[in-house]
Amino acid sequence: MSLLPARRPDARHARPRSRRRRPPLIGLVLAGLAAGSLTTAAAADTAALRPVMFVGNNWDGTADVLQPSGTFAKIGRVNIVPDKDERLAEIYLNPIKLGYFLGIRNGPGEGHDQLVDDLYSSPDGTAIVASRPSFADVVSIDIATGRVKWRFPVSGYRADHMALSPDGRRVAVSASTSNTVHVLDAATGVQLGSFPTGDKPHENVFTADGKIWNSAIGEVITALDGPGWDWTKGDRKITVADATTYQVVKVIDMRPRLDAFGRSDLSDAVRPVAFTPDESKLYFQVSFFNGLLEYDVASDAITRQVELPKNPNTNEDRTTWVNDSRHHGLAMNPAGTKLCVAGTMDDYVTVVNRSTLAHGPLVTASKPYWATISGDGQSCVISESGTDQITAISFATGQKQVSVPVGDHPQRIRLGRAPTSWPN
């Protein structure tokens, strides 16, 4: 892939383009948001908070705070880089840091600094905990004051995707240049543990059985994107660690599993994932593929696939696809019956029936970069990074419901909590 991926002509801003049953993780998260279990134990604290949706605007360095369902009306905006001048001064005085900083800008940043990747509520709901790729750190930003409460520099030179534990007290963050996942106390920023991963760790997921799943995507900014060069992309694997001891308990290499399933042509770089509510099956996207695959956890095998339509207007030159993506964004409704798929380079989003694997309408969207569920669980919400808006799609009908403008290049969208009095 070229260092400056080409954008399609219609892109905006002219920028580059039997056992005891375990509780379902999605149910835990939604129940926590409704009941306040993602905050501190004090009932007085929960009474002063309300559920919200955070949208990370990567190139802006801001987070838009929205209503979590319905109209998704904008509540306010938080600056995630209040210390920008200090961080830039630090970077420009260090030649190695500067080299990586410029590499991030001209590689995964598509010519822009990556200032906010992932974001969650602090345990008491008064701050946003965010990873900042270009600054290689995780910070906690006080929502009321806009100040940095704590900062954790990750190992290496770039921070990436995060995950929040079911109790809301820990965040796991990928340090993509050091092949490490750090697990931090979300209230204090103190590191609780870490574990090694494959090359370029990316997505993280806490599971209800006390594990952390991390997928490593390998090199995504080289121009060696043809299938014959797939071996040059690095050591890509899923690493499963114990969420208490942070010891690696299992490593899953999708290469032999894809081969056994008859898809030796597909990349084994696992991108966004979604577990079923009982965590018996994992759905995942891989680099360059316009679809997703189903992995059965118990049998340790890929069992089904969904190949989705290609947009005839999408350039088939894989080096023009952003960071080796074709489709990047996956969410499952709380019932586990529908999957929402962001067709990033194909400019659409669609809802897939998990039982039949049939897809619904192809809803036009401009470079959709992520998918999540609304606070009421009825909608899939995607970030349209090409038009700087978020869009909600009904899980029931597969049809678009509403779009809301946000900041420059929205990516991760997460449910959280914020003070009821803010921003008054």
Distance CA 135, CA 114 (A): 8
Residue 7 inside a domain? The answer is: no
Question: Span 239-267, mean pLDDT?
Answer: 97
On whether residue 5 sits in a domain, the answer given is no
Write the DSSP string, 199-264: SSEEEEEEETTTEEEEEE----SSS--SGGGGGGG----EEEEETTT--EEEEE-HHHHHHHTT-T
CATH number assigned to the domain comprising residue 149: 2.130.10.10
Is the pLDDT reported for residue 30 higher than 80?
Answer: no
Q: Does residue 10 sit within a domain?
A: no
pLDDT of residue 47: 60
Q: In the chain, how many domains are there? A: 1
Task: Report if residue 16 sits inside a domain.
Answer: no
What pLDDT shows up at residue 154? Answer: 98
Residue 58, Cα to own-chain centre: how many angstroms?
12
Q: If pLDDT is split at 50, 70 and 90, which confidence band does 46 have? A: low
- Per-residue burial over 403-421, b if 16 or more Cβ lie within 10 Å, else e, is ebebbbbbbbbbbbbbbee
Strand pairing category for 74-79 and 62-66: antiparallel
What are the tens digits of pLDDT across the range 55-91?
999 999 999 999 999 999 999 999 999 999 999 999 9
pLDDT-based confidence at residue 35 (cuts at 50, 70, 90): very low
**Regarding predicted confidence, which is higher, 226 or 138?**
138
User: In 10 A of CB 79, how many CB atoms?
Assistant: 16
Residue 29: the pLDDT is 42
Whole-angstrom distance, CA of residue 354 vs CA of residue 340 = 10
Whether the predicted pLDDT of 126 surpasses 60: yes
- Model confidence over 350-404: pLDDT tens digits? 999 999 999 999 999 999 999 999 999 999 999 999 999 999 999 999 999 999 9
Q: Is residue 139 part of a domain?
A: yes
pLDDT at 186 over 60: yes
Closest to 46 in 3D by CA, of 124, 108, 112: 124
Note whether residue 364 is domain-resident: yes
Domain-embedded: residue 3: no
Estimate to the nearest angstrom the gap between the alpha carbon of 30 and the chain centroid. 18
Range of the domain at 239: 26-419
DSSP code at position 421: T
Report which DSSP code applies to 408: S
Q: What rounded mean pLDDT belongs to the chain?
A: 90
pLDDT for the residue 226 = 87
With 70 as the cut, is the pLDDT of residue 43 above it? no
- Confidence (pTM): 0.88
pLDDT over 70 percentage in the chain: 89
How do residues 203-222 score in pLDDT, each as one tens digit? Answer: 999 999 999 999 999 999 88
Residue 21 counted as domain residue: no
3-state secondary structure of 98: helix
Q: How distant, in Å, are the alpha carbons of 101, 131, 200 from that of 364? A: 34, 29, 31
Number of H helices, E strands in the chain: 5, 28
Please check the confidence at residue 227 and state whether its pLDDT lies above 90. no
User: Can you read off the two tokens belonging to residue 56?
Assistant: 């990370």
